[in-house]
Amino acid sequence: MINFNRPPFTGNEEKYLIQAMKSLKISGDGAFTQRCHRWFEERLACEKVLLTTSCTHALEMTAILIDIQPGDEVIMPSYTFVSTANAYALRGAKIVFVDVRPDTMNIDETLIEDAITEKTKAIVPVHYAGVACEMDTIMEIANRHKLFVIEDAAQGMMSSYKGKALGTIGHFGTFSFHETKNYTSGGEGGLLIINDESFITPAEIIREKGTNRSQFFRGMVDKYSWVDIGSSYLMNDLSAAYLWGQLDIADEINDERVGHWKVYYEGLSGLNKKGLIELPTVPDSCVHNAHMYYIRVKDLNERTNLIEHLKAHDIHAVFHYVPLHSAPAGIKFGTFSGTDTYTTTESEKLIRLPLYYGIKQEELESVIEAIKDYYA
Ligand SMILES: *Cc1c(COP(=O)(O)O)cnc(C)c1O
């Protein structure tokens, strides 16, 4: 069986985990958390990062930070993971979905302005498959309308837009270290990237149960107390140690994935030239991290058949998001702005192929052969 995914494992995790276990500080903000924080701040060239329990929680933190109130509106694509919307719905926001561009499956930046009302508070672009949204346009619109931009870069670690790391362009960015992402902190984990200095202290407070404990530990206040609403959003240091085992060789992991992505791209280009399948598009403005390799086929029926065909060849390929605006909670908490030209139809055509750190060349080749065989 060729799995769809295997969580990244480098072999370095073990020694750091044991080191963390033997330290006397395994809760949040221990030694490995601090190492990871420094690594990200340098690597991303950003103001401040905070490891969190998940990307979902990092998104929830941004909803509290920008003070979402019931009735506020938040703009995002419908073609995304539930957490992108849920984080804001949780605080009473109305979710306003905008159609995607058919080339990248990212939010169509040219449709955002029509979705803005006096209640709009934020735009949440999702960098699908680690390929950047058109951020210059999105930031220009947001600045003109004084809106916050939160980049859901759950899939975007190591990707960039015009030389800037994804997650560092909007007011906030979030990463996920879930086992399905390019780097994992041992199953679950996330990162909040804070690009506006004025939000650093409030973010530390929200992450520490609404207390100013972080400042207390730095000696900035002489006792800590409950100062605002918050929750417990800190990653434990064992998870940070696991993640450190991967940051150690982050470039090696990225280069390998990009290599796999290219094998698929080249191997499937013949079927693309014949007009049988569509391959992913990466705009010139974006350097991507090969988070995912997907193809698009004729329609839903063909997708179901191809997935079955691959399964019969012991290959696990999967489809992706059911658009949120057609899900029960999406209907309850959201509304679609304009027309759904591409979101539903394009999402129904999309299949993701096995791609992970450690997949073998011959496995990639068998997937390509099996797809060719389907169309033969
Ligand atoms: C994975 C993912 C999330 C959620 O990440 P968790 O760390 O599992 O909470 C959110 N948004 C997108 C686009 C994702 O791909």
222 with 261, same domain: the answer is no
CB 81 near ligand 1, within 6 Å: yes
d(C-alpha 241, C-alpha 10), whole Å: 13
pLDDT, position 130:
98
In a domain, 81, yes or no: yes
pLDDT, position 26:
96
181 with 274, same domain: the answer is no
CB 176 near ligand 1, within 6 Å: yes
- Cα-to-centroid distance, 264 and ligand 1 (Å): 24
In a domain, 173, yes or no: yes
Nearest-CA residue for ligand 1 atom 14 is 154
One-letter identity of residue 199: F
120-135 tens-digit pLDDT: 999 999 999 999 999 9
Query: What CATH number did the domain enclosing 183 receive?
Result: 3.40.640.10
**How many structural domains compose the chain?**
2
In a domain, 189, yes or no: yes
In a domain, 3, yes or no: no
Q: Which of 206, 222, 247 is the last residue of a domain?
A: 247
In a domain, 4, yes or no: no
Is 0.95 topped by the overall pTM?
A: yes
In a domain, 88, yes or no: yes
174 with 265, same domain: the answer is no
CA 193 to chain centre: 12
CB 35 near ligand 1, within 6 Å: no
- Cα-to-centroid distance, 281 and ligand 1 (Å): 22
Between 237-247 and 13-22, two packed helices, what is the crossing angle to 10 degrees?
150
182 with 39, same domain: the answer is yes
172 with 319, same domain: the answer is no
214 with 263, same domain: the answer is no
155 with 202, same domain: the answer is yes
User: Which numbered atom of ligand 1 lies nearest the CA of 189?
Assistant: 7
d(C-alpha 244, C-alpha 186), whole Å: 10
| Average pLDDT per consecutive 10 residues, the chain (376 residues; last block may be shorter) | 96 97 95 98 97 98 98 98 98 98 98 98 98 98 98 98 98 98 98 98 97 91 93 98 96 98 98 98 98 98 98 97 97 98 98 98 98 97
Q: How many residues are listed for the chain in this entry?
A: 376
Range of the domain at 58: 13-247
CB 126 near ligand 1, within 6 Å: yes
pLDDT, position 82:
98
209 with 256, same domain: the answer is no
DSSP-H helix ranges across the chain: 13-22, 31-44, 55-65, 82-89, 112-115, 135-145, 200-207, 213-217, 237-247, 250-267, 269-273, 300-312, 328-333, 343-349, 361-375
Nearest-Å Rg of the Cα atoms of the chain is 21
**Residue of 52, 55, 126 to test ligand 1 pocket, by largest number of atoms within 8 Å of CB:** 55
pLDDT, position 17:
97
In a domain, 1, yes or no: no
204 with 265, same domain: the answer is no
- Cα-to-centroid distance, 324 and ligand 1 (Å): 14
In a domain, 8, yes or no: no
Query: What CATH number did the domain enclosing 369 receive?
Result: 3.90.1150.10
CB 175 near ligand 1, within 6 Å: no
- Secondary structure letter of residue 24 according to DSSP: S
